[in-house]
Amino acid sequence: MKKTLVILMVLVALGSYVFAAGAKEAAPKAAAPAAELVINAEEYKGAGYVDPIKGWAKYDALIAAIKSETDKAKRTQMMHEAEDILMSNWCVIPIYYYNDLYMQKSYVSGVYSNPFATKFFQHASMSNGSKTLRINLASEPDYLDPALNSSVDGACLAAASFAGLYSYNEQGVTSPALAEGYTVSADGLTYTVTLKKNLKWSDGSALTAEDFVYSWKRAVDPQTAADYEYMFSGFDGYEAGNLNVVALDANTLQFKLAAPCAYIEDLMAFPTFFPVKKAAVESYKDWKTSPGGWCQEAGFVSNGAFVCTEWNHDVSMTYTKNPYYWDAANVKLDKLEFMLSADDNAIFAAYNSGSIDFADTVPTDAVAGLIASNNPEFHVVDELGTYYAAFNAKSSLFEGKTPAQAACMREAFSILIDRDYITANIGQTGQVAANAYIPLGMADGNGGIFKSEAVKQGYYDPYAINNDPKGTTDKAVALLKAAGYKFGADGKLSAETPISVTYLTNTSSGHIAIAESIQQDLAAVGINLSIQERDWNVFLQERKQGNFDFAREGWIADFNDPINMLEMWTTTSGNNDCQYGR
């Protein structure tokens, strides 16, 4: 059990007390009780604090200013200020910084991942003579439309079936895909991109610069409702709803930015910037009201290395080599076959039986054995991202509380979580306990690192509950009292003011284990946490729509700049699960 060591220490202490009680020695004088920690919610809130609902316009304005700032040092400072605001309300509860693990058969080579967890299969080969790579990434994908996808598994599928102006090579560096190259104006704002010649869609029709104009404008159209439309916010014309992007001719695309952008190639390699064919999108009868409906069945037109040719929903998908892909000559596989499942144990069994060749997940209870045996098929790679839990700022859990009281309540939850236990016993692959949202090692946009030290540069000591359990628990109790809760003599919440909260998560052994660990941590002060599991697609929609109190979350960066992890929390962002400003 998680608290075995603590229990043993208590038993040892009790044993010592019984032994001493039998001796005829004067009892020591009782120590004077320590002064109770008292917190006033309104005085306690930090300098960066803003009301996450009514005051969030300040955050929105700061993000807009960052995206137009040309002084790199000032921009970096502003991003630190934005994280201060984000962390001050405690809706985002960082748990650990990600790394990525997967299983890959020894006869498979050429599969690679970038620092943002996208897996690339178009250069894979198999020494066992097979031309079909059998894969599990996740369960039923939420969207295959690259403009609508916002999940990691969806990005992997998009990278297999679509192609953009740029992509990533095996070193994780951007490299030209559909683009031959580009030139930039002296002010760093106007980009003129030359496309490769004779590009085609998977149906053999010509792919031209005009397809990018259509696709990019479609991505920012409110009717499309793309979660990532804000990634175009640095483009000229975005605010007016008319991106400044034009096709100078069939092979030349030109677009203008509102301010210079150091990560423009990362954007050009991101799925939301991939082209889609207008005729294919608008051939779907309800394309205006269901913008992703055109590719919810096999056979849709794409332009990547593979085309989706078979889809048995919730069971499997088959992707077949696309002969019209710009780099088809270097695609060695004929097929990708995807097992659709979120059951870690079933996936691991399929891998061990030889039914699949690549598994993007491993059951929690299998990790230690794989590490101990130094299994060469078990891979752990670095990522830029943060695993966290999140509160819905609009949850009824906070009814009757001032914004400052709600923040105190959420901070109490945060400091009670034993992150060290989670990383050591559930993660097990060297994850670092997190005390900030921006992950360790991310660039700061000014030639440096935004955060390089795991404790000193964060917002709290992530190991406090281990190093000072009593002091940390006392502070959590004081924070809850500041939020209006009462406690009994046993140090737990009074029946007069209980806290019952539901934690939403998708079905996965690791996520459930983390939820159960948090459940036990919060029970130490009498908080009742119930765990609610949902299938992947339902889970994503529930979070997006704000149908939760407390939920498991994770964000792997889309590119190596803090703005990517900060701009997602603006009021209108489709990834603003905390419902800030709404």
CA–CA separation, 196 and 205 (whole Å):
15
Token pair of 565 as six digits? 């992890």
Q: Which of 327, 333, 317, 349 is nearest to 127 (CA)?
A: 333
CA–CA separation, 255 and 423 (whole Å):
44
Residue type, 311: W
Give CA torsion, residues 476, 478, 480, 484, to 10 deg.
180
| Alpha carbon separation from 516 to 99, 115, 250, 491, 512 (Å, rounded) | 21, 29, 56, 21, 6
Residues of the chain with CATH 3.40.190.10: 106-342
pTM of the model: 0.88
Confidence (pLDDT) at 46? 78
Contact 85, 50 (CB under 8 A): yes
Domain 106-342 has CATH 1.10.357.10: no
Token pair of 94 as six digits? 């960082």
Q: Residue length, the chain? A: 582
Token pair of 224 as six digits? 């499309």
Neighbours of 581 (CB within 10 A): 22
Contact 551, 544 (CB under 8 A): no
CA–CA separation, 333 and 15 (whole Å):
67
Domain 92-98+382-566 has CATH 3.90.1150.10: no
CA–CA separation, 366 and 359 (whole Å):
13
* Backbone torsion region of residue 82, taken as left when φ is above 0, otherwise alpha when ψ lies between -120 and 50, otherwise beta: alpha
Confidence (pLDDT) at 34? 67
Token pair of 524 as six digits? 């130490």
CA–CA separation, 499 and 492 (whole Å):
11
**Within its chain, how far is the Cα of 3 from the centroid?**
30
**Radius of gyration (Cα) for the chain, nearest Å?**
26
Confidence (pLDDT) at 455? 86
Confidence (pLDDT) at 555? 96
The sign one gets for the Cα dihedral 137, 143, 144, 145 is negative
CA–CA separation, 5 and 11 (whole Å):
10
Residues of the chain with CATH 3.10.105.10: 92-98+382-566
On the 0-12 / 13-18 / 19+ scale of CB atoms within 10 A, 558 is buried
CA–CA separation, 200 and 202 (whole Å):
7
As averages over each run of 10 residues, the pLDDT of the chain (582 residues) reads: 38 34 44 78 90 97 94 96 97 96 97 94 98 96 94 96 97 96 97 98 98 98 95 95 97 96 95 98 96 97 98 98 98 98 96 98 94 96 94 97 97 98 96 96 94 90 96 98 97 97 94 97 98 94 96 96 97 96 96
Strand pairing category for 500-506 and 528-534: parallel
Token pair of 72 as six digits? 């790199």
